[in-house]
Amino acid sequence: MAHDRFGGLTGWDFEGFHGGGDTELWRRLGSSVVTVEDDERGSVTGVRFAVWAPNARSVQVIGNFNWWTGDQMELIPGSGVWCTFIEGLGEDTLYKFRVETHDGRWIEKVDPMARFSEQAPANASIVYESKYLWSDDEWMEKRRTAQAHAEPMSVYELHLGGWRKGKSYLDLAEELVSYLKWQGYTHVEFMPLAEHPFEPSWGYQVSGYFSPTSRFGKPDDLRYLIDKLHQAGIGVLMDWVPGHFPKDEWALGRFDGTALYEHEDPRQGEHQDWGTYIFNYGRNEVKSFLVSNALYWIKEFHIDGLRVDAVASMLYLDYSREEGQWVPNQFGGRENLEAIDFLRYVNRHLYEREPGVVMIAEESTSFPGVTKPVHEGGLGFGFKWNMGWMNDSLRYLQLDPVYRQYEHNLLTFAMVYAYTENFVLPISHDEVVHGKGSMINKVPQDDWRKFATLRAFYSFMWSFPGKQLIFMGCEFGQRPEFNEATSLEWWVSDLWGHGGLQRLFRDLNHTYRDNAALYELDNSPEGFSWINADDASRNTLSWVRHDSSGNHIACVTNFSPEPLRDYEIGLPVAGAWEEILNTDAPIYDGSGEFGNLGEVTAHAEPWGHFPARARVTVPPLGSVWLRRTGS
């Protein structure tokens, strides 16, 4: 034998893959530059290609090195994996696989494990080996001991192509990092980074799960961006899409002519609404593929957490289906037991393997125990998006103030279930697309009231129990809906109202981060006390947030257009309370007429369940925060 034709792989290398326990599959499948020993010539370097296609009659690798004509691959005995080693090849080689199906058809497929791909609409896989040297040791060390639930988390969600059109990963490493630092966000969340063919899908229909989109540069350019964010003290989350994948004939679907990654039965294997395939979570090889993918982003790209998209669609067999269009589980129920097992598996593995990462569920139902640990019967996520809070809050926001008193419970109801899960409060891209209108255009009446209401709403949101997430452009009140084809309208941030809102966000973020009372006990009833939940007639809500060191912040929000003068509230401690935020301040383009001259004094006279009381001025459509340090 001249040299190892499988590039060092044997059937034993795929035992874990077939058992569902290979969590680093990218080290075995796909394309890798390797050096093998030749009997006559010593060390020989080239590229090893390996692809799982167990039902194929034959597989070839085609590429720019063989004029796309095909080099035959061999089946590694007992593995279902086709492999070949081609010496002399290296990085930047373009390739695809040509698969002969069981019925004699030839189909061309991109590599499911490709680590780099051509830019859409081209789609060839590209051989790529990272040479990046990280400089974020300090961040990664800190991450290992992080306690996410007791730390501040304000997330800026963005679509890479629409933040500033035409910017690369390298451009963003300068511009985005400095903007986020100025604004004070703790985290950035990138809408799917994985390669996707159709730009208006915003990356939610993935064709290259291991391939960072090449629209903005090379994989090591993305590593550089993440490194720079970490060095600036900013965590990086990414949207991860294990719920479904597109039907493009050159991608994962019917990969070897059979349903390999997806279910064969369309009642189990297709989302009719989205025109996509559903992963077969009961298949061990699919579990290995997906758990490896989750770990890949965290390990190879230092991603700090995954926000898992469309979890509800995974949990329920009848999701968006009519009667008779779905197959019940073995007990006759609607829960997808295999998907539930998979989610528990991936969450448990990542939390054990990479301490400090966060797993966040976008889950829109009341499925129990989403953020409960797996060993207690939960799904094992760290956080869940609070879609109920979001829907109720936006319904309230869109009401004319005269009608808000009749729907007051829309803003109080979230506290009824606030401690059932660990929540993130999201105002995400989904709320400002497809005819829903931008945030500024959801609010009724004239511009003064629109901006004042938004300032009050965001201060309400930032002081409510739970972590915070806002979509790009909301921070300066962009008027058009999100459109991935154009940049944000940055120029409006120089205008009245828009600029004030942007400055408010900066102060909200910095004040939030500087005051543990606003985040440390988010998931504990000890961190929150209502002052008055029931003042519906004045559209006003008030509460106190507490930390474990005896610090308190009182938050009063007035969603009516009438100012509140000498508004009486109860407080936990007598003495001086510093006014640390007033959304009517001139710096935020407010009137500046309704403040408390920097502080209020609480007197030791009982009020409700509080030992002290104070009188405050609260601006129309405005919010005031008061701080008392120490107990």
Give the tens place of pLDDT for each residue, 387-416.
999 999 999 999 999 999 999 999 999 999
pLDDT tens profile 184-195: 999 999 997 999
pLDDT of residue 42: 84
252 vs 261: CA distance, rounded Å = 7
Torsion-angle region of 591 (φ positive above 0: left; ψ -120 to 50: alpha; else: beta): alpha
d(CA 156, CA 176): 11
Cβ 424 vs Cβ 418: under 8 Å: no
In DSSP terms, which residues pair with 246 in a beta bridge? Answer: 276
The answer to whether residue 1 scores a pLDDT higher than 60 is: no
- Residue 75 and residue 6 in contact, taking contact as beta carbons nearer than 8 Å: no
Residue 370 reports pLDDT greater than 50 = yes
CA 188, 189, 191: angle at the middle one, nearest 5?
A: 145
Question: What pLDDT shows up at residue 631?
Answer: 55
DSSP strands (E only) in 369-527: 383-385, 423-427, 467-471
What is the CB-side half-sphere exposure of residue 209 using CA atoms within 13 A? 26
Confidence of residue 430 (pLDDT cuts 50, 70, 90): confident
CATH tag, 525-628: 2.60.40.1180
Query: In Å, how far from its chain's centre is CA 38?
Result: 47
Give me the pLDDT at residue 205, please: 86
Where are the domain boundaries for CATH 2.60.40.10 in the chain? Answer: 11-126
Helix, strand, coil percentages in the chain from 3-state DSSP, rounded to 5: 30, 25, 45
Reply yes or no on whether the pLDDT at 417 is more than 50: yes
Q: What is the mean pLDDT of residues 278-293?
A: 97
* pLDDT tens-place string over residues 5-44: 888 888 899 999 999 999 999 999 999 999 988 877 888 9
Mark whether 138 is an active-site residue.
no
The model's pLDDT over 469-515, given as tens digits with 9 standing for 90+, comes to 999 999 999 999 998 889 999 999 999 999 999 999 999 999 999 99
Q: Give residues with Cβ within 8 angstroms of 164, minimum separation 6.
A: 171, 172, 175, 487, 488, 490
Catalytic annotation, pick one of 13, 256, 338, 362: 362
pLDDT in tens, 143-175: 999 999 999 999 999 999 999 999 999 999 999
Q: Pick the catalytic residue from 22, 136, 239, 309.
A: 309
Does residue 424 register a pLDDT over 70? yes
Residue 203: pLDDT over 80? no
Strands 58-63, 94-100: parallel, antiparallel or unpaired by DSSP? antiparallel
Q: What are the two backbone dihedrals, phi and then psi, of residue 479, each rounded to the nearest 5 degrees?
A: -85, -45
Please give the model's pTM, rounded to 2 decimal places.
0.96
Are 11 and 76 spatial neighbours (Cβ–Cβ below 8 Å)?
A: yes
Residue 416: strand, helix, or coil: helix
CA–CA separation, 192 vs 115, rounded Å? 15
3-state secondary structure of 335: strand
Q: CA 555, 559, 565, 567 torsion: positive or negative?
A: negative
| Residue 46, helix vs strand vs coil | strand
Amino acid at 155: V
**pLDDT per residue as tens digits for the range 114-134:** 999 999 899 999 999 999 999
What do you get for the CA distance between the two ends of the chain, in Å? 79
Q: Which of 30, 25, 259 is CA-nearest to residue 127?
A: 30
Q: Is 309 in the active site?
A: yes
Q: Is the pLDDT assigned to residue 554 strictly greater than 80? A: yes
Q: What is the pLDDT of residue 212?
A: 97
d(CA 63, CA 47): 12
Q: Is the pLDDT of residue 3 over 70?
A: no
Q: What is d(CA 616, CA 618) in angstroms, rounded to the nearest whole number?
A: 6
Q: Which two tokens stand for residue 310?
A: 């469309």
Lowest mean per-residue pLDDT among 161-165, 240-244, 272-276, 343-347:
272-276
Q: Look at residues 455, 436, 453 and name the one whose alpha carbon lies nearest to residue 444.
A: 453
CA 165 to chain centre: 21
The pLDDT assigned to 38 comes to: 80
Dihedral class, residue 434 (left if φ above 0, else alpha if ψ from -120 to 50, else beta):
left
pLDDT at 432: 83
Which residue did the predictor score with more confidence, 4 or 367? 367
- Whether the predicted pLDDT of 600 surpasses 90: yes
CB 236 within 8 A of CB 302: yes
- Any idea which architecture 11-126 has in CATH? Sandwich (2.60)
pLDDT beyond 80 at 200: no
Identify the weakest region by mean pLDDT among 193-202, 540-549, 602-611. Answer: 193-202
In this structure, the strands spanning 528-535 and 106-109 are unpaired
Whether residue 198 is predicted with pLDDT greater than 90 in this model: the reply is no
**DSSP state, 193?**
-
pLDDT at 218 over 60: yes
pLDDT at 310 > cutoff 80: yes
